[in-house]
Amino acid sequence: MLTLKPLRRFITLGQFIIERQTDFPYAKGELSRLLRDIGIAAKLVNREVNKAGLADILGDMGETNVQGEDQKKLDVYANEQFINALRSGGECLAVASEENEDLIEIESPVSQNAKYVVCIDPLDGSSNIDVNVSIGTIFSIYRRKNDRTGSTTIEDFMIKGSEQVAAGYVIYGSSTMLVYTTGKGVNGFTLDPSIGEFCLSHPDMKIPEEGLLYSINEGNYMHFPNGVKKYIKYCQEEDKATNRPYSSRYIGSLVADFHRNMIKGGIYIYPSTGKSPNGKLRLLYEANPLAFIAEQAGGKASNGFDRILDVQPESLHQRVPLFIGSNKMVEKAEELMRTFSA
Ligand code: P6P
């Protein structure tokens, strides 16, 4: 009798999420559906980001296009897509977004029994769109504390990053990828436009222990802490034993710099500067989700002294210095921060 072997040329994000659902004994599919909702919004945003270069034909953002339709700024559009997807998916109670000063309560009949809150930077680095540089979405998911009832408040978001149940990013680049973790490793999915599905392309991602790339905006050198200045000089010194000097790579788009370092190894640093004494990046929807991913991939993330995931949030949009990437590179930077900038 002919036995057909299952033709498994690819695993879609949806199939993968369902297959991994057993990782969560308590989950009855809610987190799976929440991740699915984010994947759907990412596809919609990807479609518009890919058209951004046609602004002249489609009409500049913020004006009307040839059909007389209002062209939304892409980061506003992305914010709306993710919030709408989370609202209609029914698993999300509230959203803290880089685009909104206050938290957004999801009040819809389908969300009555929702258990999750989401922090999101819907389109980080959007200023790079005009020069066709990769940009990204970053998201972080928490399960609401069991003792919390009634309307969501900021208290539901003042949770350490170590308590995230999931985190991920989407990079809209030469290809579009969605990379996420639920605390059981990191997996990367590449969008196949021919079928409109994210397909597993980077299973069980691990960030190399050491790297040869350092990413930092050296234009701020004069305002860096001494420990950072010492680390930059360390990267530039000749030392065959540790493959130095390293190469400097700074795209100016966090998700693109982080993703490259995830694949090749490296360190990204946005320290305190004169203009930004607490650094530029936000704890809730940039540093925490990327720190969760970095640690799950064997890397490290700190504010130069303390583990990012242990930082107690005090406000929705608070900034934090970020040192993130290959374990040994972050450790070296922390060593110099302790010695020269404690
Ligand atoms: P700077 C983009 O605005 C962003 O938030 C990150 O994506 C990026 O890494 C950083 O700021 C770049 O900041 O000050 O170096 O231009």
The helix-helix angle for 74-89 and 30-51 (nearest 10°) equals: 160
Percentage of the chain beyond pLDDT 90 is 73
* 213 contacts 249 by C-beta, under 8 angstroms: yes
The runs of H, that is alpha helices, within 175-284 are: 226-236, 254-264
Ligand 1 center from residue 161 Cα (angstroms): 21
CB 254 near ligand 1, within 6 Å: yes
Average predicted confidence (pLDDT) for the chain? 90
* 318 contacts 255 by C-beta, under 8 angstroms: no
Residue with CA nearest ligand 1 atom 9? 254
Band of pLDDT at residue 323, cut at 50, 70 and 90:
very high
Q: Which atom of ligand 1 is nearest to the CA of 273?
A: 14
CB 196 near ligand 1, within 6 Å: no
Q: Identify the CATH class of 213-340.
A: alpha beta
DSSP states along 16-49 = HHHHGGGG-TT-SSHHHHHHHHHHHHHHHHHHHH
Domain-wise residue ranges, the chain: 13-202, 213-340
* Assigned CATH for 13-202: 3.30.540.10
What is the pLDDT, as a whole number, of residue 58?
44
CB 280 near ligand 1, within 6 Å: yes
Ligand 1 center from residue 327 Cα (angstroms): 22
Lowest-pLDDT choice from 61-75, 98-112, 262-276, 307-321 = 61-75
Ligand 1 center from residue 125 Cα (angstroms): 6
pTM, two decimal places: 0.93
Lowest-pLDDT choice from 26-35, 205-214, 282-291 = 26-35
Instruction: Indicate whether 264 pLDDT > 70.
Output: yes
Considering only residues 7 and 227, tell me which one the structure prediction assigns the higher pLDDT: 227
Q: How does pLDDT run across 2-20, given as a tens digit for each residue?
A: 776 665 678 999 999 888 8
Q: What residues pair up with 174 in beta bridges, in sequence order? A: none
